[in-house]
């Protein structure tokens, strides 16, 4: 059984999407379904998923275009393309444009589940180390190594905050969004600014950039 892993299913065939949702939820996954490319792009940019299962022939944006746009934004969520376009040339194109795995339709349910488990394991093995300005964040040990400061120990909340930014290095996060995602137990938004101050004091001002009127983004001042 999966343990609190989340899956974005991108499929415009409502019957197949419902079947996949029921199958994955039966395995213990938290499942979100997007029926077109624009919704898939929005979900991928604004929520954290452990894996994406994506069709190619979608309304709006084609599935591989969605993947390319997510990759350009720094989203590294592993993707399994599930498509009727299943000849070798189609598979090569899918892998070259951002997919980690590719299955043709029709497909075997047990094999699909096994491939999803494999993607989650492989991604977990490589996701504990994240790039931050001038250094690396080690999520597992809650430490950051930055040029000029050496190895710095972070509190659990500081690490969560920095990890949240580092997993989407080009996305601007609003204070309200950060409050909801990281500080949901806090009463007011000032806690976000407080933790930005803490992280800048430990890692230097270049670790988090303020975008005036919008919020915060990973990176040095512009």
Which of 95, 99, 53 is closest to 76 using CA atoms?
99
Task: Give me the numbers of helices (H) and strands (E) for the chain, helices first please.
Answer: 8, 11
Give residue 38's pLDDT band: very low, low, confident or very high (50, 70, 90). Answer: very high
pLDDT at res. 221 = 53
Task: Report the phi/psi class of residue 219: left, alpha or beta, with left for phi > 0 and alpha for psi in -120 to 50.
Answer: left
DSSP-derived pairing of the beta strands 143-146 and 101-104: unpaired
Which CATH number belongs to the domain containing residue 146 in this structure?
1.10.10.10
Range of the domain at 39: 6-125
93 shares its domain with 153: no
- Between CA 46 and CA 85 the distance in angstroms is 28
66 shares its domain with 134: no
pLDDT at res. 146 = 86
Please report whether residue 184 resides in a domain.
Answer: yes
Give residue 138's pLDDT band: very low, low, confident or very high (50, 70, 90). Answer: confident
Average pLDDT of the residues in 101-114: 93
pLDDT at res. 1 = 38
Please report whether residue 1 resides in a domain.
Answer: no
96 shares its domain with 11: yes
Average pLDDT of the residues in 175-199: 85
76 shares its domain with 151: no
Positive/negative CA dihedral, 38, 40, 44, 48? positive
Averaged pLDDT score across all residues of the chain: 88
């Amino acid at each position: 059984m999966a343990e609190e892993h989340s899956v974005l299913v991108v499929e415009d065939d409502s019957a197949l999407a419902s079947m996949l949702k029921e199958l994955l939820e039966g395995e213990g996954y938290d499942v979100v379904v997007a029926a077109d490319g624009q919704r898939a792009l929005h979900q991928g940019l604004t929520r954290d998923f452990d894996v994406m299962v994506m069709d190619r022939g979608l309304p709006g944006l084609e599935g591989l275009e969605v993947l390319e746009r997510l990759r350009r934004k720094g989203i590294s969520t592993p993707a399994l393309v599930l498509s009727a376009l299943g000849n070798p040339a189609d598979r090569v194109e899918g892998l070259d444009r951002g997919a980690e795995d590719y299955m043709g339709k029709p497909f075997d349910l047990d094999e699909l589940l096994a491939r999803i488990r494999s993607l989650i394991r492989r991604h977990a093995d490589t996701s504990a180390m994240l790039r931050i300005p001038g250094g690396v964040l080690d999520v597992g040990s809650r430490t950051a190594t930055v040029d000029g400061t050496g190895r710095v120990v972070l509190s659990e909340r500081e690490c969560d905050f920095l990890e949240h930014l580092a997993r989407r290095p080009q996305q601007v996060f609003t204070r309200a969004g950060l409050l909801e995602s990281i500080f949901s137990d806090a009463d007011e938004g000032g806690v976000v600014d407080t933790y930005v101050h803490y992280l800048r004091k430990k890692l230097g001002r270049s670790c988090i950039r303020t975008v005036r009127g919008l919020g915060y983004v990973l990176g040095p001042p512009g």
